[in-house]
Structure 1
Amino acid sequence: MNLDVHALRTFSQLAHSGAEKAAWSLSELTGMETRVNVTKIELETATDVECEFRDNDFVSVRIGFSGGLDGRTILAFDREAASNVVEAILPGGAGGDELATSGLKEVGNIMLGGFIDGWANHLETSIDITTPTYLDVDSDGPLDGFAVGDRLEGENEHVLVFRNQLETTADAVTFYLYMVPTAGTIETIVDTATDAEEAVPIETLTTFSDMISDGAEQASADISAMTGTQTVVDVSRLSFVPIEGVPMQLDDATRVGVVLEFMGVPSGYIAILFDETSSEQIAAALLPGADAGEAMRQSAIQEIGNIITSGFLDGWANQLETTIEISPPQFVHDLGPAIIDPLATELAQAQDYAFLIDSTIRTDDDEFTCDIYALPNEKELRQALDQLSAHPA
Structure 2
Amino acid sequence: MAAMRGRRLGVVASVGVLNMVGFAVLVAEQAIEWSAGGPAAPLIWWVGGVTLVIGLVLVAAILLLAVLVRLWWLRLGVGVGLVVVQALVRTLLLLPAIAADGGPPAAVVWATGMTGYSVALGAGLLVGALLVREDRERERREAEEGRARQAIAELEGEELRVRRMVADRLHGTVQHRLVVIASGLDHAAADLEGSGSGRWVPTLREWAADLDELREEQVRSLSHSLFPSGADLGTYEAICALLDRLPTSVATTVVLGPRMRDIVHEHGSPLPLVDRLVAVYAVEEAVTNALKHGRAEAVTVTIEIAQDTEALWMLDVTVDDDGSGPPAGPTVLSGLARHRSRAEARGGSLELTRSPVGGARLHLVLPFVPETGQPAVAPASPGTG
TM-score range, shorter chain: under 0.3
Structure showing the higher helix proportion among its residues:
2
State the TM-score, normalized to the length of structure 2. 0.20
Q: Which has the higher contact order (CA 8 A, sep 6+)?
A: 1
